[in-house]
Amino acid sequence: MGERVKIGVIGAGSWGTTLADLLAKKGHEVTLWAYEAELVADMRTGRENSMYLPGIRLADNLAFTGSLVDAVRGKDLLLFVVPSQALRSVLKETIAHISPESIIVSASKGIEVGTLKLVSQIYEELLPPALYRRFAVLSGPSFAREVAAEMPTAVVAAAEDDVVAKKVQDVFTCGFFRVYTNGDVTGVELGGAVKNVIAIAAGIADGLGFGCNTRAALITRGLAEIARLGLALGAKGETFAGLAGMGDLVLTCTGDLSRNRTVGIQLGQGRLLADILGEMRMVAEGVKTTESTCLLAQRLGVEMPIASKVHEILYADRPARTAVMELMTRDLKAEGY
């Protein structure tokens, strides 16, 4: 390992807890912030996040706090892993206490409802310009529980400054967690956000009892939609063939640990969205991201038929089987982005 780094991890869901544990086991000085006071106390005494990551023993040197100020003050690197719709309020509360020398890493995936901003654009809006230049995004195909179990995983650290990306790469990489660098922040971030929308669609198809043909079509054409939106936002097309594009999309559309696919399966089986979400402890980012994605696509004049049908199922009570048939009977066209 390289130098020992002081790190604050903001957000103790399954992914934030997993990354904090990984970093602590690498020998870094890590403090994990959780919103729930009872969770902080439980993790301190039991060395386990029984709420979001049960059954995984956390590193003995991992520290816990319920104070945002304590979590961010004096840190060399800050990792924000809060739901995208809560990010703005958390960031506003912490900015005054962030060291100007800190590297800021975002592992949140989504598009803000209302502003239609990518997570990186929220940071760009709120952070001082010098601090934003030290900003990076961490994304890619990575179920928290599999990383916590030390299963081989590869992700991407994207930053406009290659030095920042390489620093993040060095801090996070270990024997089972391989980090690649990328200069396309927009593409990496958009792939991580919109794949959750397509995963809901894939789950709906599974819930309806459709097979592998249907799933393969949804993944492939879903990737085309993501790429179209990304290109309209200035992303690089090749990014969507990589880990943060195709890699994350395949994982989330096919894996049983995918919360968004699980929501889709239950919708396909005829359950109501409110009932599904009411039973979930963790956030399925794709539900909110569907709304913001469709509005952003409309603003940019980008056609996203799969995302639009998911939106109709989620927010207009469109029967799932009807929506699929409408997709299949659209006007015929040539394949492409």
Catalytic status, residue 195: yes
The CA-based angle 109-132-6, given to 5 degrees, is 80
Residue type, 195: K
116 SS3 class: coil
Asked if 14 contacts 53 with a C-beta cutoff of 8 angstroms, the reply is yes
Q: Which of 167, 195, 288, 309 is catalytic?
A: 195
Alpha helices in 233-336 (DSSP H): 248-254, 259-268, 273-278, 285-300, 305-315, 320-328
Q: Which two tokens stand for residue 337?
A: 């982005």
Residue closest to 195 by CA, chosen among 109, 118, 277: 109
Lookup: tokens for 335: 């394949």
Q: Are 157 and 169 in contact (CB under 8 A)?
A: yes
Q: Cα separation of 135 and 271, whole Å? A: 40
List % helix, strand, coil for the chain (3-state, nearest 5).
Answer: 55, 15, 35
Answer yes or no: are the C-beta atoms of 219 and 278 closer than 8 Å. no
Tell me the two tokens of residue 44: 């301190």
Report, in angstroms and rounded to the nearest whole number, the Rg of the chain calculated over CA atoms.
19
Q: Can you state the angle between helices 119-126 and 185-207, rounded to 10 degrees?
A: 140
Active site residues: 195
